[in-house]
Amino acid sequence: MTKRLFLALELPENIKNELILQQNNLVKKLGVKGKTHRDALHLTLKFIGDFEEEKIEQLAKEIEAFTSKIHPFTLTLEKLSCFPNCFKPRIVFVSSIPLQPVKAIAESLDSICSRFGVDSEKRQFKPHITIYRVKKQAKIEEKKVNPLKFEVNSITLFESILKPDRAYYNPLYTFKLTGE
């Protein structure tokens, strides 16, 4: 038996509220279909995919050993942009700075997961929070947003449960960044 897993940074409620305001600006132009559900707003660090249930506890132990060495840090969300570009967007996201601590954590998590047979990430890591999946032709303006700062003090291992209406995310483990 397997579970579909990923590792992510959860967002505080006040940050989600601000991202919802950004979404509402997009809804005026693009319609309501495509909005990322409030419960799905997060910053993915590593998509694991289908993973054997009997190995989840051992994976969690390895991640916990890693996170116990990391100190909490502040992350700032600052820019609205698009993948692949803002002239033909498929994904609208808000990017984060500083890049380095999040990128280093993502690379380490990728390495830990690879020891369990999970494919290493081929694409360059770009920390972002997806707020909208574009369903129709549009042009989006890339722009700075009011900086949204929050303290990163944990990483969550989620199970992704796919349903006809959307994906639902069930937190399995939360790993505190304790910096011991």
Residues 107-138: tens digit of each pLDDT: 999 999 999 999 998 888 899 999 999 988 88
Going from N- to C-terminal start, the domains of the chain cover 2-176
Mean pLDDT of all residues in 72-98: 91
Residue 45 scores a pLDDT above 70: yes
Residue of higher predicted confidence among 52 and 141? 52
Q: What pLDDT, on a 0 to 100 scale, did the predictor assign at position 139?
A: 85
Mean pLDDT of all residues in 63-89: 94
Mean pLDDT of all residues in 1-24: 95
Q: What pLDDT, on a 0 to 100 scale, did the predictor assign at position 165?
A: 86
Distance CA 52, CA 66 (A): 21
DSSP E strands, the chain: 2-10, 42-52, 73-83, 91-97, 128-133, 143-152, 154-162, 167-176
Fold of 2-176: Cyclic Phosphodiesterase; Chain: A, (3.90.1140)
Q: Are 5 and 51 in contact (CB under 8 A)?
A: yes
Mean pLDDT of all residues in 60-71: 97
Residue that the structure tokens 């397997």 belong to: 2
Angstrom CA distances, 68 to 2, 57, 58, 89, stand at: 27, 16, 16, 38
Residue 141 scores a pLDDT above 90: no
Mean pLDDT of all residues in 61-74: 96
Residue 98 scores a pLDDT above 80: no
Residue 49 scores a pLDDT above 90: yes
Residue of higher predicted confidence among 103 and 138? 103
| pLDDT class of 179 with cuts at 50, 70, 90 | confident
pTM of the model: 0.93
Q: How many residues does the chain have?
A: 180
| pLDDT class of 180 with cuts at 50, 70, 90 | low
Q: What pLDDT, on a 0 to 100 scale, did the predictor assign at position 144?
A: 87
Q: Are 6 and 173 in contact (CB under 8 A)?
A: no
Q: Are 2 and 52 in contact (CB under 8 A)?
A: yes
